[in-house]
């Protein structure tokens, strides 16, 4: 079954990136909300119903390069993916105020979660924008025909497919530090944080392909967990990258 990563504009904020391995999905449930600094809502892994472990197994690793000066100095930010799971939509939608925005996803199943540890291994501060990390989607023809391996959930309309699935960029992000509308986080040299990216519902599969167009694609198996003690994770809606730049 062919699945596709869709192109995003070449971002000036990032330098070239090296490819990396592969992962997939799991379980869950949310409830309480606590206020975070700056008014950003937050949820803990336990409130999300996500499994935790002292040292969770790495499902896939990669290095996500950024550059503070347009590419002269390359700052390496290793990613270690430890979780692929699912969570119910409504509690998170209410938390981030996305009930109306995600209305057409209702009835399609639980949201998809990719959780990872992100480290700044460089000498300068790093602000990776993670909104271009996508789950590879099946074409509409494949979905419409109900082909085996298609990731489109039952009941998906063409308009919802076009809006959320092709490409399937993050709907929202949660992080142990502040996260903005482009899923951007700030890391000091040597700092490691927990990040969770939230994607639309997909049909059950043995794996999903996740990555960034033109830089890497990894196959992610279902399961895993988050590091114990991740604490409150700040939540925000993520706006998809502008794919019209440079066209």
Write down the pLDDT at residue 244: 52
Residue of 119 and 217 predicted with greater confidence = 119
Contact 91, 28 (CB under 8 A): no
Phi, psi of 116 (to 5 degrees): -155, 165
Tokens of 55: 């040292």
- Cα 149–Cα 153–Cα 154 angle in degrees, nearest 5: 110
Domain limits of the chain? 34-169+185-237
The band of 7, judged by pLDDT with boundaries at 50, 70 and 90, is low
pLDDT digits (tens, 9 = 90+) for 70-96: 778 888 899 999 999 999 999 899 999
Alpha carbon separation from 127 to 66, 69, 106, 133, 187 (Å, rounded): 7, 12, 33, 15, 6
Contact 114, 86 (CB under 8 A): no
Contact 225, 46 (CB under 8 A): no
Could you please report the per-residue DSSP string of 148-162? TT--PPTT--HHHII
Average pLDDT of every residue of the chain = 81
Contact 215, 128 (CB under 8 A): no
Tokens of 116: 């990872």
Residue 151, pLDDT > 60, answer yes
Tokens of 180: 């903005």
The bridge status of strand 172-175 relative to strand 216-221 is: unpaired
The band of 29, judged by pLDDT with boundaries at 50, 70 and 90, is very low
pLDDT digits (tens, 9 = 90+) for 90-119: 989 999 999 999 999 999 999 999 999 999
Mean pLDDT of 234-247: 74
Cross-strand pairs, 197: 114, 173
The band of 24, judged by pLDDT with boundaries at 50, 70 and 90, is very low
Write down the pLDDT at residue 15: 42
Contact 201, 127 (CB under 8 A): no
Cross-strand pairs, 118: 79, 193
Residue 146, pLDDT > 80, answer no
Write down the pLDDT at residue 3: 55
Q: Cβ atoms within 10 A of the Cβ of 131, count? A: 22
- Read off the DSSP letter of residue 245: T
| pTM for this model (two decimals) | 0.83
Q: Helix, strand or coil for residue 104?
A: helix
């Amino acid at each position: 079954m062919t699945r596709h990563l869709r192109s995003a504009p070449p971002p000036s904020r990032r330098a070239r990136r090296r490819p990396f391995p592969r992962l997939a999905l799991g379980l869950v449930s949310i409830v309480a909300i606590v206020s975070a600094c700056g008014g950003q809502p937050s949820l803990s892994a336990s409130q999300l119903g996500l499994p935790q472990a002292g040292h969770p197994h790495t499902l896939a690793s990669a290095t996500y390069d950024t550059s503070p000066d347009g590419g002269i100095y390359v700052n390496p930010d290793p990613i270690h993916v430890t979780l692929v799971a699912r969570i119910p939509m409504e509690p998170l939608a209410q938390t981030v105020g996305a009930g109306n925005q995600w209305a057409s996803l209702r009835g399609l199943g639980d949201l998809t979660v990719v959780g990872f540890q992100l480290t700044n291994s460089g000498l300068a501060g790093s602000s990776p924008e993670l909104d271009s990390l996508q789950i590879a989607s099946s074409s509409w023809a494949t979905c419409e025909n109900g082909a085996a391996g298609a990731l489109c959930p039952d009941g998906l309309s063409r308009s919802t497919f076009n809006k959320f699935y092709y490409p399937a960029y993050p709907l929202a992000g949660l992080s142990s530090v502040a996260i903005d509308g482009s899923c951007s986080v700030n890391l000091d040299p040597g700092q490691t944080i927990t990040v969770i990216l939230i994607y639309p519902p997909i049909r059950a599969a043995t794996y999903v392909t996740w990555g960034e167009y033109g830089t890497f694609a990894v196959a992610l198996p279902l399961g895993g967990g988050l590091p114990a003690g991740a604490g409150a994770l700040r939540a925000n809606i993520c706006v998809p990258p502008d794919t019209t730049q440079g066209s």
